[in-house]
Amino acid sequence: MHIFVTGGAGYIGSVCSEEILNAGHQVTVFDNLSEGHRSAVDPRATLILGDLMNRDEIFAAVKGARPDAIMHFAANALVSESMTNPSKYFRNNVSGGINLIDAAVDAGVKKFIFSSTCATYGTPEKIPMDERLAQKPINPYGQSKLMFEQILNWYDRIHGLVYINLRYFNAAGASDKFGEDHRIESHLIPCILKVALGQREKAEIYGEKYTTPDGTCIRDFIHIQDLAAAHILALGRETSVSYNLGSGEGFSVRQVLDIARKVTGHPIPVVVKEPRPGDPPRLVASSHKITSELGWRPKYPRLQPIIESAWAWHQKHPNGYGD
Ligand SMILES: NC(=O)c1ccc[n+]([C@@H]2O[C@H](COP(=O)([O-])OP(=O)(O)OC[C@H]3O[C@@H](n4cnc5c(N)ncnc54)[C@H](O)[C@@H]3O)[C@@H](O)[C@H]2O)c1
């Protein structure tokens, strides 16, 4: 199959492209490199430089590629930034997304795999979180992703565009070649590893008075190669659906720090800061639905090997991609 990958120069899109290519498919990456990196694009893929906000560019790119399916990773994805600049999130994640699905309909593309998020649920009423939970986002990032899920539903009903919403929990880890290098790094594991690399003095803990056993937030980490495997399985799906994707186990920020200390051999000192607005205390996935319907199972169910793969990549690329 030929897969059109928006955001393929970013963290998750780069590893998904690599795995799709390894599975024998063809990949066209569409990215404006606002957050991604040219050298994060697998050399076997075709890279089109373009912006989703430019309707002509995305229409021409999709029409020219004539893909069998689109995987849509391109977005702005910082919860805290969305709490101060909601406009950026609604414009890029919703309006940019509409340009893309209009281009898909125009070019006759029938399958669309969307990078959604557990942030669409907000603060969950129940853990582990399955797909039946009410979606009540508590930040504009999560709201923008939920709005786009709802728009996709109408495009299926009206245009027959089959969508698979993959609601990721916290993506983590690296492949041998590609890893996590966000321009503004706020994700827990790379922030901690930067301390172990000697690039930051202390790891930051945002809040230690949450209603969790050690008072710090609890998150569910999923290896990006496991995420990639789910995308490849989703290509075989013929009707629209939403799936949660996580390892099913929650780790507190302090537990993540302990594992990172073990992996890196560095004491990783910490500083406790104020809680960040828009951060729910506990997010843990039930991935039962995708396991039973598509046969997906994580190859990295444990956190330590996930952090080990991230650490190996960061040691090889202490300054990230450098572009
Ligand atoms: N990282 C996570 O833990 C996580 C969790 C849940 C969901 N997600 C979702 O997964 C997707 C990928 O996340 P990531 O961590 O790889 O982010 P990322 O920032 O590394 O990648 C996003 C890519 O999209 C590109 N992009 C952004 N806006 C664009 C535009 N208008 N036109 C063209 N390209 C554009 C960026 O240059 C970048 O390469 C996002 O949609 C995000 O919301 C991520």
Q: Cβ(135) to ligand 1 under 6 A? A: no
Beta-sheet pairing, 69-72 with 111-117 = parallel
Burial class (CB in 10 A: 0-12, 13-18, 19+), 62: buried
Q: Cβ(49) to ligand 1 under 6 A? A: no
232 and 102 housed in the same domain: yes
9 and 29 housed in the same domain: yes
What pLDDT shows up at residue 119? 96
**What percentage of the chain has pLDDT greater than the value 70?**
100
227 and 259 housed in the same domain: no
Beta bridge partners of 115: 166
Q: Is residue 178 part of a domain?
A: no
123 and 192 housed in the same domain: no
What residue type is assigned to position 100 of the chain?
A: L
1-43 pLDDT per residue, tens: 999 999 999 999 999 999 999 999 999 999 999 999 999 999 9
Q: Cβ(115) to ligand 1 under 6 A? A: yes
Cα–Cα dist 8/17, whole Å: 7
235 and 255 housed in the same domain: no
Taking the centre of ligand 1 as the mean of its atom positions, its distance from the CA of residue 266, in whole angstroms, is 30
On average, the pLDDT of the chain sits at 97
What pLDDT shows up at residue 27? 98
Q: Is residue 323 part of a domain?
A: no
What pLDDT shows up at residue 184? 87
Q: Is residue 64 part of a domain?
A: yes
Cα–Cα dist 124/219, whole Å: 12
What pLDDT shows up at residue 265? 98
Domain hosting 299: range is 188-219+249-316
Q: Is residue 302 part of a domain?
A: yes
Q: Cβ(117) to ligand 1 under 6 A? A: yes
Q: Is residue 136 part of a domain?
A: yes
19 and 134 housed in the same domain: yes
Mutate to test the pocket of ligand 1, among 4, 5, 12 (most ligand atoms within 8 A of CB): 12
Contacts of 37 (CB under 8 A, 6+ apart): 9, 181, 320, 321, 323
Q: Is residue 180 part of a domain?
A: no
Q: Cβ(197) to ligand 1 under 6 A? A: no
The residue contributing the CA closest to ligand 1 atom 31 is: 52
Supply the CATH number for residue 109's domain: 3.40.50.720
33 and 148 housed in the same domain: yes
Q: Cβ(12) to ligand 1 under 6 A? A: yes
228 and 262 housed in the same domain: no
What pLDDT shows up at residue 135? 98
The residue contributing the CA closest to ligand 1 atom 15 is: 11
Q: How many domains are there within the chain? A: 2
Taking the centre of ligand 1 as the mean of its atom positions, its distance from the CA of residue 94, in whole angstroms, is 13
Q: Cβ(221) to ligand 1 under 6 A? A: no
45 and 89 housed in the same domain: yes
What pLDDT shows up at residue 288? 97
Supply the CATH number for residue 311's domain: 3.90.25.10
What pLDDT shows up at residue 132? 97
Cis omega (within 30 of 0) on the bond before 86? no
Q: Which of 121, 141, 155, 243 is catalytic?
A: 141
Q: Is residue 181 part of a domain?
A: no
The residue contributing the CA closest to ligand 1 atom 20 is: 10
The residue contributing the CA closest to ligand 1 atom 11 is: 73
What residue type is assigned to position 211 of the chain?
A: T
Identify whether 141 is a catalytic site residue.
Answer: yes
State which residues of the chain have pLDDT below 50: none
Q: Is residue 240 part of a domain?
A: yes
259 and 239 housed in the same domain: no
Cα–Cα dist 306/173, whole Å: 5
| Residues 5, 7, 9, 10, Cα dihedral to 10° | -130
104 and 234 housed in the same domain: yes
Q: Cβ(92) to ligand 1 under 6 A? A: yes
279 and 201 housed in the same domain: yes
Beta bridge partners of 132: none
Note if the pTM is more than 0.85.
yes
Taking the centre of ligand 1 as the mean of its atom positions, its distance from the CA of residue 249, in whole angstroms, is 24
